[in-house]
Amino acid sequence: KLISEGSVEEKVLALQGRYAQQEADFETAIRLLREAVEAFGDRPAPYTPARRARLNLSNTLRLRGRYDETLAVLDETLLWMAHVP
């Protein structure tokens, strides 16, 4: 298994976070998506599940009106994406 594929646990966290977002359980979504982003760690960009988790986290923060945090996550994501091998 390639390191860039990620583990099932990371992907499950991201999917659970997305589901919580869709169910309007935003605080749970934020917690799970933060855990997923942390678990994905420094996977090479643009690893799709990690990118999706980051973008879902920023969107959930936006939906809660937490704009400063949203921008911080987007900035981190852009920096991460800039390091495409």
Report d(CA 67, CA 85) in Å as an integer: 30
Exposure of 42 in the CB half-sphere (CA atoms within 13 A): 2
For the stretch 26-55, pLDDT in tens is: 999 999 999 999 998 877 777 889 999 999
Question: What letter would DSSP give residue 77?
Answer: H
For residue 85, how many other CB atoms are within 10 A of its CB? 5
pTM for this entry: 0.86
pLDDT (average), residues 59-71:
97
Contact between 35 and 54 under an 8 Å Cβ cutoff? The reply is no
CB 60 within 8 A of CB 33: yes
